[in-house]
Amino acid sequence: MLEPERGCSRHRDCSRGTGECSVKAVAVERGLEPVKEFLQAQGCQVVDWNASAPARDVACCCISGMDKNLMGMQDVTLDCPVVSCDGLTPQQVYERIRPYLQ
């Protein structure tokens, strides 16, 4: 039986035959170690996210929700969806970000 073609050594969804990893990374805010570990266990590429130096070229950003702006004013713009992990289990966070990884 033949094995399915794989793009890189870690992910099934990578570019086929190029040897390059095309799986998008997920940026995770510091303090969300359980979420970070769970996402890595699911095969996600995870990078650290910091509001002062936001990650670039990521599928989405996972934040703790502790930095919510109470006045409704925003001064940081991101070119990706932001998922608040406040009150969610790591499994629930994964379910929310899965559509962005495809």
Kindly report the pTM of this predicted structure: 0.69
**Token pair belonging to 78:** 């991101």
DSSP β-ladder status, 58-63 and 45-49: unpaired
Residue 53 scores a pLDDT above 70: no
Q: What is the DSSP letter of 55?
A: -
* CA 70, 76, 82, 88 torsion-angle sign: negative
Name the percent of the chain in helix, strand, coil, to the closest 5: 20, 20, 60
Place of tokens 């870690």: 10
Residue 3 scores a pLDDT above 80: no
| Per-residue confidence (pLDDT) for residue 32, from 0 to 100 | 95
CB 84 within 8 A of CB 65: yes
Question: Of 46, 63, 29, which Cα lies nearest the Cα of 101?
Answer: 46
pLDDT in tens, 4-34: 444 444 444 454 445 555 568 999 999 999 9
